[in-house]
């Protein structure tokens, strides 16, 4: 087959920050045969980066290599008793996939409504929100090995999932391209309202026995109130990970800051709210040249209008330094830097 390789392409339409940078080459992948052909032509031996919806990436300079953009679509499901195995291609938009499942009464991912990005990126990041993480519903994924030119199936135990992390970000970083993901969902909903403002919003709406659609709608409403729409304000959602700290560190912080928001984690660890830490350092709503911090959620960095990727990166450095100085905690970026 002949590859359609586009050259000298603007990346502005392909990243939610709306950063104006260019790539030497762009290849759109909507089937497995294209990946095999890219391998045959030796292009995976050159510099490349796999792009989905561009919602978790910050381009700080022109990309001097190949952008591999995953655009494959398709969803299939198989019901076994109360379980539903739903397989989606990598290029499916995550939120579209969530609502497809809700319409079919497949429960398990409703708390993750409106997370930006694609299905293919979901295991890489172990995405999560409002008390649910991908690892709880992940069954398998198929991925292309860019070193061997073969397809491999990963089971849950192969993926080394942890908070916003997986083997695809560590030992296998840059090696595998996820082509489809299978999720194990259920026909019986286990409604989870315990996290964030879900219960308060349900009370406001006078919903006492919420459906999975109700939960997804409420979560979407909360997210829209907190997060800017990338079509009008460039952003990549949460720019930083919520830090996870040990018991001793938490006890010391709690002594100094009794109202610090915190969430218990396994292994006597505690997760803190990065947005709260950033807000305490006075960054919420602040402008930084053409970059800035969102007025409703300090976890979100924004392109106010014509920011460069470098400007947004420099802002993140300032924030990391201030949080380190005030709390002794080093924030990690959630966004991929290029």
Q: What is the DSSP string of 255-276?
A: HH-TT--EEEETTTEEEE-HHH
Q: In what order do the strands lie in the sheet with 138-145?
A: 75-80, 83-89, 176-186, 138-145, 150-155
Phi, psi of 183 (to 5 degrees): -110, 145
Query: Is-contact 139 183, C-beta < 8 A?
Result: yes
Catalytic residue status for 238: yes
Phi, psi of 115 (to 5 degrees): -65, 130
Q: Which of 69, 164, 223, 333 is catalytic?
A: 164
What is the Cα–Cα distance from 129 to 98, expressed in whole angstroms?
13
Within its chain, how far is the Cα of 199 from the centroid?
24
SS3 235: strand
Catalytic residue status for 164: yes
83 class by beta-carbon count within 10 Å (0-12 exposed, 13-18 middle, 19+ buried): middle
Query: Is-contact 17 236, C-beta < 8 A?
Result: yes
Q: Which of 28, 37, 279, 334 is catalytic?
A: 334
- E strand intervals along the chain: 5-10, 22-29, 48-51, 57-58, 63-70, 75-80, 83-89, 128-129, 132-133, 138-145, 150-155, 176-186, 234-238, 244-245, 262-265, 269-272, 287-288, 291-293, 300-303, 336-337
What is the Cα–Cα distance from 133 to 107, expressed in whole angstroms?
13
Q: Which residue has the tokens 């089937």?
A: 31
SS3 107: strand
Q: Which of 238, 308, 316, 333 is catalytic?
A: 238
Half-sphere exposure in the Cβ direction for 241 (13 Å, CA)? 19
Helix axes 94-103, 212-226, angle to 10 degrees: 150
Question: Which residues does the annotation mark as catalytic?
Answer: 164, 238, 334
């Amino acid at each position: 087959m002949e590859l359609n390789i586009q050259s000298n392409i603007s990346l502005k339409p392909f990243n939610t920050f709306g950063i104006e940078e260019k790539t030497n080459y762009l290849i759109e992948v909507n089937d497995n045969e294209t990946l095999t052909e890219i391998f045959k032509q030796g292009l995976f031996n050159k510099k490349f980066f796999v792009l989905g919806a561009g919602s978790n990436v910050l381009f700080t300079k022109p990309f001097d290599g190949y952008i591999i953009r995953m655009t494959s679509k398709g969803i299939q499901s198989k019901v076994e008793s109360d379980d539903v195995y739903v397989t989606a291609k990598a290029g499916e938009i995550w939120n579209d996939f969530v609502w497809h499942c809700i319409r079919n009464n497949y429960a398990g991912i409703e708390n993750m409504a409106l997370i930006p990005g694609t299905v293919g990126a979901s295991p890489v990041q172990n995405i999560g929100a409002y008390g649910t993480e991908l690892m709880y519903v992940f069954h398998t994924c198929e991925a292309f090995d860019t070193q061997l030119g073969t397809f491999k199936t990963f089971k849950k135990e192969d993926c080394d999932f942890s908070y916003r992390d997986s083997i695809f970000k560590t030992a296998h970083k840059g090696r595998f391209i996820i082509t489809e993901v299978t999720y194990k969902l259920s026909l019986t909903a286990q409604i989870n309202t315990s996290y964030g403002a879900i219960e308060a919003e349900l009370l406001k709406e006078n919903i006492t026995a919420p459906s999975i659609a109700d939960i997804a709608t409420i979560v979407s409403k909360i997210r829209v109130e907190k997060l800017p729409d990338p079509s009008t304000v460039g952003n990549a959602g949460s720019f930083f990970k919520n830090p996870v700290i040990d018991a001793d560190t938490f006890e010391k912080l709690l002594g100094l800051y009794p109202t610090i928001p915190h969430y218990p984690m396994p292994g006597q660890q505690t997760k803190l709210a990065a947005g709260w830490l950033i807000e305490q350092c006075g960054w919420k709503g602040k402008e930084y040249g053409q970059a800035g911090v969102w007025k409703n959620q300090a976890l979100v960095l924004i392109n106010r209008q014509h920011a460069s990727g470098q400007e947004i990166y420099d802002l993140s450095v300032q924030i990391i330094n201030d949080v380190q100085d005030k709390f002794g905690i080093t924030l990690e970026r959630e966004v991929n830097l290029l």
